[in-house]
Amino acid sequence: MNTANTVAASKITLSELMLPSHSNFSGKIHGGYLLKLMDQIAFACASKYSGCYCVTASVDTVDFLNPVEIGELVTLKASVNYVGRTSMVVGIRVISEHIQTGVKKHCNSSYFTMVAKDEMGNNVKVPKLILSNMEEVRRFYDSINRIENKKKHKELEMTFDYKSDEALKNLENFNIEISENFKNE
């Protein structure tokens, strides 16, 4: 196995024509189908980079920015943006293209955390990441920031007392109604 690898060595592009069988009830391409494609390219990217079988550990921030239409060509581009000891963050960008007009839309960007595994299912150390330009450095630091923010959010969830009087009073600021059964509890 390589001890270091470049971002360029991880890059994968996947294009697929969107068919009626991929659509939802409103005639747009189903978000779940796009997520499936994103998971596939994340697997391919991480496995190509690490030389190992990889599994999805988490998916961060999938915002559907623009709908994808039946008949459009969807292109997913992925690269490893960050590596830890056994994990990698794969950045994915999804673009749809109207084939006749050539008009392209950015549909979403997402980040998949993938973990390298051996034949027995144990975590495996991944190669160091060789950064070759400032864009790769930016993406690496953006990944670090997302990881740190995720840790802070998890700590906040663990320490937040939703049963406190202050937290319950704060519910009045939201578009909810407290049932009588709850009030009498």
Give me the residue spans of the domains in the chain: 4-131
The mean predicted confidence, pLDDT, of the chain is 93
Say whether domain 4-131 belongs to CATH 3.30.360.10.
no
pLDDT at 185 (0 to 100): 61
**What's this model's pTM, rounded to 2 decimal places?**
0.87
3-class secondary structure for 114-179?
Answer: EEEECCCCCECCCCEEECCCHHHHHHHHHHHHHHHHHHHHHHHHHHCCCCCHHHHHHHHHCCCCCC
Dihedrals phi, psi of 60, to nearest 5 degrees:
-110, 135
Q: Count how many Cα atoms sit within 13 Å of the Cα of residue 111 in the half-sphere of its side chain.
A: 18
pLDDT in tens, 14-51: 999 999 999 999 999 999 999 999 999 999 999 999 99
pLDDT in tens, 55-86: 999 998 888 999 999 999 999 999 999 999 99
